A and B are shown apart, each in its own frame.
Chain A
Amino acid sequence: MHPLKIIVTVKQVPDTNQVKIDPVTNSLVREGVPSIINPEDRNAIEVALWFKEHVGAETTALCMGPPQAVSALEEALAMGIDKAVLLSDRAFAGSDTLVTAFTLSRAVMKIGTYDLILCGRQAIDGDTAQVGPQLAGFLGLPQITYAEEIQYDGMTLTIRRGLEDSNEWIRVKLPALVTVSAGINRPRHPSLYNIVAACDPERITRLTATDLKVPAAMLGLTASPTKVKKIFEPERHARAEMLEGEPSHMARQLIEKLRALHALDREHNPHEREVSSAFNRL
């Protein structure tokens, strides 16, 4: 039996917990914000490494992004992934989820055969969870999203898919595409041995639009059906009524206000809406 061929998609994202808004210009401050591998893509890498170590697999990490996204792939190699492919070209800039998935699908076809494609459930900068299923769509593959546990018997994957109110156990034959949730495993840190090996430049292949043989009209912002019409700070209420002073004083004032609004009454449901209207009169 040949080793499984596994492709893991990886996105480099800004550590969004550290993105701030400039209070003067109301624009995003991105300087000094570190770039990381999208957290759930690290879970997908860990699943690929599990297959490599327990079943035997050739693992390839695939990333689309600007040239500096190569550092995400180096980290994937340092975790133990065998090979990496960086899709980088100005023509890819501004791709929405559909065109990103389309471009990735062409890279997957270029990589050649595969048994399993693994993706993180969603990226923390966009939170759409769309690229995985769209990639499966372009490749005509069955998909299992929100995977929280994966078992493999040599032919068939049995996957626990976490829904809001239930778990589904799903069986699918390879090839397939699986998106994994954070709870599925604890991704390892890069090992020193692998970090040294990751420095081998031959392990990272760079592909451009020309390599994919896709005309520019089918790529990037031009081809993306969705457009960003505007970006804005959400409307905020007028500034809060501020309570100040000693903690005990603030606590007393707060409780008095809530009592006045009957907001602390336990048997409240019949008057539920009166609270907000009473509040508006304050």
Chain B
Amino acid sequence: MIAIFAEKCIGCRLCERACLFGGIAVSGKTPTLTDQCTGCGACVSICPKGALVADKAQPGQIHHLEAYRGIFVIVEQRSGVLQPVSCELITAARRLADIRGVPLSAVLLGNNISRHALTLVAHGADTVYIADAPFLEHYRTLPYVRILTELIASKTPEIVLLGATTIGRDLAPRLANHFRTGLTADCTDLSIDNDGTLLQTRPAFGGNIMATITTPLHRPQMATVRPGVFTAEPIRTGQGEIVHIPVTECSVDNVVEIVRIEPKQKPAVSLEQAQVIVAGGRGIGEGKYFAMLEELAHLLNGEVGASRGAVDLGWIGHEHQVGQTGKTVRPRIYIACGISGAVQHLAGMQSSDIIIAINNDPHAPIFQSAHIGLLGDVHAIVPEIIRQLRQ
């Protein structure tokens, strides 16, 4: 198939003349493929402006599976600081690599970041690929995609994993697109079956149910995983190979330019670090009742969380959201008030040590995920807990 980038067309009509089949017509500066196009690509090679591109691989093509071996974790750094999700992923990927008996590689792009290689090895990477150059200091889609696709194309890993951060979720779809392969976002569990298929589990259908997704016939198999889903464990002081990738800047890298980066003010809520979380859902009835939850959270030295339902209603800011589309937390105590317990919410809090649910619906699914359930009116129970804690 031929892809047309009409904005690059200058209306020279060379493509019309090059085509033997009448497969392309140019009107003004807009080339259009006709029914007669055979996808032969004669127009592509003659176009002086690159307005016509032949898609090399299209969805539907089956890759040679056995040619792919090993696991890649694309490491994330911001201003030279390694992001925790990367070590979490390397720890998890180490287990997968051991099951498969294949090497695990970490890939790090940035500026003056080579010192991080040892940390990545300590978490289980056999090889660390490093591209260290000033123009890679801050993540930008196009240069990162360019360098990573070259590396992945030459090393052919069977699995590529990234953190499901604002950077990973910008980068991963472009990489998957380049290789015309499958990508599963925001996995909450990864395992591998006997024939090397990555089993990627995530909440689906708006987070109401879990789905296991595979990419059986395409490689690499790609997935993103949210921060906090896996735990980073330095497993050894072992040996690792460090490979520097030579990189040079390219003019298209600068199509997108970062003007400046402003740090956000330290968020008032840090749910990921909280030891106690008091969370509210639609069942609390009105946004104003979050004040009551805040009071309880304050007494317990904790933070306030919320379900997606409560956030969508505008009762509380998104920074409080716990769940698949919010934050993944594992506090010592999680108190769910008026939260029904959708899969999407559970995905973000089910590893909490003690889950307490307060709900007036005896059939609420949250009671099947909680350790302690209080059946009754949130508006009566929470003030009572506050009163007794004060005494």
Q: Is A14 in contact with B373, judged by CB distance below 8 angstroms?
A: no
B243 within 8 A of A: no
- Taken residue by residue from 359 to 372, chain B's Cβ proximity to chain A (1 for < 8 Å, 0 otherwise) reads as 00001010111111
Please report which residues of chain B, range 166-213, place their CB below 8 angstroms from some CB of chain A when the two chains form the complex.
166-167, 169-170, 172-174, 176-178, 180-186, 199, 203-213
Binary interface encoding of chain B residues 6-20 relative to chain A, with 1 for a CB under 8 A from any of its CBs, else 0: 110000000000000
What residues of chain B lie closer than 8 Å to A91, measured between beta carbons? none
Give the complex CA separation of A243 and B335 in angstroms: 14
Q: Do residues B6 and A109 form an inter-chain contact, with CB atoms below 8 A?
A: yes
A-contacting 9-mer, from B100-108, B120-128, B350-358: B350-358
Choose among B78, B173, B203, B357 the residue that contacts A130 (Cβ–Cβ < 8 A): B173
Minimum Cβ distance to chain A for residue B213 (Å): 5
Are A232 and B385 in contact, CB atoms less than 8 angstroms apart?
no
Q: Does A92 contact B (CB under 8 A)?
A: no
Interface size on A, residues (CB 8 A): 103
- A127 contacts B211, CB within 8 Å? no
> How far does the Cβ of B376 sit from chain A's closest Cβ, in whole Å?
6
Chain A 158-169 near chain B by CB (<8 Å), digits 1 or 0 = 100111111111
- Please indicate the chain B residues that have their CB under 8 angstroms from the CB of A224 in the complex: 59, 182
Residue of A nearest to B27 (CB): A112
Instruction: Give how many B residues have a beta carbon under 8 Å from the other chain's beta carbons.
Output: 106
| CB within 8 Å: A-B pair count | 294
A264 is an interface residue with CB less than 8 A from chain B: yes
A167–B262 touching, CB < 8 Å: yes
A208 interface residue per 8 A CB criterion: no
* Residue numbers in B under 8 Å from A182 (CB-CB): 318
Q: Indicate whether A281 reaches chain B with its CB closer than 8 angstroms.
A: no
| Interface locus among B109-117, B152-160, B234-242, B251-259 | B251-259
Q: Which residue of B lies closest to A257 (CB)?
A: B372
- State how many angstroms separate the Cβ of B385 from the closest Cβ of chain A: 4
User: At the interface, is chain B mostly helix, strand, loop or mixed?
Assistant: mixed
- Nearest B-chain residue to A143, judged by Cβ: B141
Q: Of B1, B214, B255, which is within 8 A of A226 by CB?
A: B214
Contact for B354 among A101, A142, A279, CB less than 8 A: A279
A113-B30, A217-B60 as given contacts; A279 in contact with B177, CB under 8 Å: no
Q: Determine if B4 is an interface residue (Cβ-Cβ < 8 Å).
A: yes
Residue of B nearest to A127 (CB): B325
Bound state CA distance, A164 and B272, in angstroms?
13
305-335 of chain B: CB within 8 A of chain A: 308-309, 312, 318, 324-325, 332-333
Does B176 lie within 8 Å of A98, measured CB to CB? yes
Contact B373 A240 (CB under 8 A): yes
> Does any Cβ of B come within 8 Å of A145's Cβ?
yes
Q: Are B389 and A134 closer than 8 Å at their CB atoms?
A: no
B294 within 8 A of A: no
Tell me the complex Cα distance, A266–B302, Å: 11
What residues of A have a CB within 8 angstroms of the CB of B59 in the complex?
Answer: 98-99, 102, 218, 223-225
B205 touches A19 (CB 8 A): yes
Chain B contacts for A112, CB-based, 8 A: 6, 30, 32
- Spot the interface stretch: B64-72, B215-223, B285-293: B215-223
Contacts A175-B7, A248-B388, A254-B374 given: A237-B369 contact, CB under 8 Å?
A: yes
- Most A C-beta atoms less than 10 A away, residue of B35, B182, B206, B257: B206
Shortest CB distance A60–B (Å): 14
Of A42-50, A192-200, A268-276, the stretch lying at the interface with chain B is A268-276
- Interface membership of B99, Cβ < 8 A: no
Residues of A232-282 whose CB lies within 8 A of B: 232-234, 236-237, 239-244, 247-248, 250-252, 254-255, 257-258, 261, 263-264, 266, 268, 272, 275-276, 279
**Is B343 in the interface zone, CB < 8 Å from A?**
yes
Q: Which residues of B contact A223 (CB under 8 A)?
A: 58-60
In the complex, what's the smallest C-beta–C-beta distance from A140 to chain B, in angstroms? 6
Are A19 and B255 interface neighbours, CB within 8 A? Answer: no
A247-B380, A251-B384 known; A213+B37 contact, CB < 8 A: yes
Q: A165-B263, A229-B199 are in contact. Are A136 and B174 (CB under 8 A)?
A: yes
27 of the cross-chain contacts (CB-CB < 8 Å) are: A17-B308, A23-B363, A28-B209, A96-B182, A97-B173, A98-B180, A113-B6, A114-B6, A125-B206, A129-B173, A137-B174, A137-B178, A140-B5, A143-B174, A163-B167, A166-B262, A168-B260, A213-B33, A222-B60, A226-B215, A229-B213, A230-B212, A239-B367, A243-B375, A244-B375, A272-B332, A276-B353
Mark A residues whose CB is within 8 Å of B: 13-14, 16-17, 19-21, 23, 28, 39, 96-99, 101-102, 105, 109, 112-115, 124-134, 136-140, 142-146, 158, 161-173, 175, 182-183, 213-214, 217-218, 222-234, 236-237, 239-244, 247-248, 250-252, 254-255, 257-258, 261, 263-264, 266, 268, 272, 275-276, 279
